[in-house]
Amino acid sequence: MDLFEKMAAEGHEEVMFFRAKAGKLRSIIAFHDTTLGPALGGTRMYPYASEDEAVIDALRLSKGMTLKSGVAGLHYGGGKGIIWGDPVRDKDELLLRAYGRFIQGLRGRFITGTDVGTYSADFVNLLPETGYLVGLPVEYGGSGDTSILTAYGVLLGIQACAEEAFGKRDLIGLTVAVQGAGKVGAKLCRHLRDAGASIIVADVRKDVVERVAAETGAKIAGADEVLGAQCDVLSPNALGGVLNEGTIPNLKCKAIAGGANNQLATPEDGDRVWKRGIVYGPDYVVNAGGVIQVADELEGYNYERCKAKVEKIPALLKTVFAISKAEGINTDKAATRMVADRIAKVLKLKATMAPAR
């Protein structure tokens, strides 16, 4: 992989690699665009098959954070931290503290919280080394579990996409297929149950999916079958890249809205979904609840204020759908254009005004 060429193609500013002399830490931090403010993004711990795979994930996820913060109106740029390792086998105090020291060395250029493979309790181990953290447990001054408001925002996103696809906002009589029953997916299933939807749920962990199904009355689908399930709305809530050249032709839904990041494997897949007439809620709009929460935490967390911001997700999606129709472009391009326009205006402002003191 030509890293500089890849960075130039996607608009990245910087990629940093960290290794602790003691312990097992191998880490990557990618900065995408910091025009709107310091980079804000979670830290993912995952046993990648190769270094290239880890770098590509960091690049994709950091760009997604630029889009997520930008479309939600936050004053932060896009960044992402990667710890390359198995979160079950490799995670310990030494590794986490080493990572915290590197975060501290960036002196606020990167602020991080949890992601796949990391939890609020893990970040307590970073506190002796750095304060540039969000999503800490409430008892440590944080806002707590970000999956709560993320799942709520995904429900609102599903309702907005259902209104666009079926002309009605309520989910009664509709079937939603949920891929992934983890931190967000399980909570989403409870919301869907309460909203009157029929649920199909899938997860690679048999015990997890059986527990969620028993609690919500959902039907269980195989992890490799759920993307092609007969449903009204598909909700990807696992890892990214699930909407691709191979899966899109087999979709049997009219709308897609979920909590997973980077659901489109390539930009071209946005066109593939659009040409099939499927309403797609761009993931970085639908799942913005988590970043809205942690950004609010940096201002002094207030739950009601944060919840009110999350409740603007349907209005954002309506704007995205309107741009898509008016300009004849897919919804992913429409949402990306909204962010690009905002960044361009801020850049112009910075170029014409003296910096504030």
pLDDT tens for each residue of 27-49:
999 999 999 999 999 999 999 99
Per-domain residue ranges of the chain: 3-61+77-140, 147-340
User: Which pLDDT value is given to residue 114?
Assistant: 87
Phi-psi region of 20 (alpha: psi -120 to 50; beta: other; left: phi over 0): beta
pTM: 0.90
Say which CATH class 147-340 falls into.
alpha beta
**3-state class (DSSP) for residue 122:** helix
80 is catalytic: yes
Each residue of 189-226: pLDDT tens digit? Answer: 999 999 999 999 999 999 999 999 999 999 999 988 99
346: exposed, middle or buried (Cβ count in 10 Å: 0-12, 13-18, 19+):
middle
Comparing CA positions, the residue from 224, 150, 157 lying closest to residue 186 is: 150
What homologous superfamily does CATH list for 3-61+77-140?
Leucine Dehydrogenase, chain A, domain 1 (3.40.50.10860)
User: Which pLDDT value is given to residue 337?
Assistant: 96
**Contacting residues for 276 by C-beta, under 8 A, at least 6 apart:** 248, 251
Q: Which positions of the chain have pLDDT values less than 70?
A: 354-357
pLDDT above 90 covers a percentage of the chain that reads 89
- Fold identical between 3-61+77-140 and 147-340? yes
User: Which pLDDT value is given to residue 357?
Assistant: 60
Secondary structure E strands in 275-342 = 279-280
User: Which pLDDT value is given to residue 354?
Assistant: 66
> Which of these is catalytic: 63, 68, 80, 333?
80
Sign of the Cα torsion 188, 317, 38, 31 reads positive
User: Which pLDDT value is given to residue 108?
Assistant: 97
